[in-house]
């Protein structure tokens, strides 16, 4: 899927109170078989995106991994 960033953004935005402040960026990888995505969100929404013990973040990773089954997916969460 070429626009995997948009799919992740569409999953993350409804979870945030400031949905316009959320950004997803794809970073360069050393390997062609790896996708690295960074989710930038306001610090007030970051805890909601990660969830207790990382449950929400892990759920997002599992859903996104289904889209790119033949590549390694890394998703990182950062506060703006």
Q: Is residue 21 pLDDT above 60, yes or no?
A: yes
**What is the fold, at CATH topology level, of the domain defined by 4-79?**
GMP Synthetase; Chain A, domain 3 (3.30.300)
Assess whether pLDDT exceeds 90 at residue 1.
no
- Residue 2: pLDDT over 80: no
Write down the domain spans for the chain. 4-79
**Cα–Cα separations (whole angstroms), residue 56 to 14, 15, 24, 31, 74:** 13, 10, 16, 27, 15
pLDDT digits (tens, 9 = 90+) for 22-46: 999 999 988 889 999 999 999 989 9
- Residue the block writes with tokens 């703006």: 80
Report yes or no: 41 and 47 within 8 Å, Cβ to Cβ: no
In terms of residues, how long is the chain? Answer: 80
Residue 29, pLDDT score = 87
């Amino acid at each position: 899927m070429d626009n995997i960033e948009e799919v992740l953004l569409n999953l993350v935005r409804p979870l945030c109170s400031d949905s316009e402040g959320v950004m997803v960026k794809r970073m360069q990888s050393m390997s062609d078989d790896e996708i690295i995505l960074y989710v930038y969100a306001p610090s007030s929404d970051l805890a909601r995106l990660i969830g207790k013990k990382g449950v929400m973040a892990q759920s997002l990773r599992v859903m996104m991994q289904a889209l790119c089954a033949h590549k390694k997916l890394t998703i990182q969460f950062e506060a703006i």
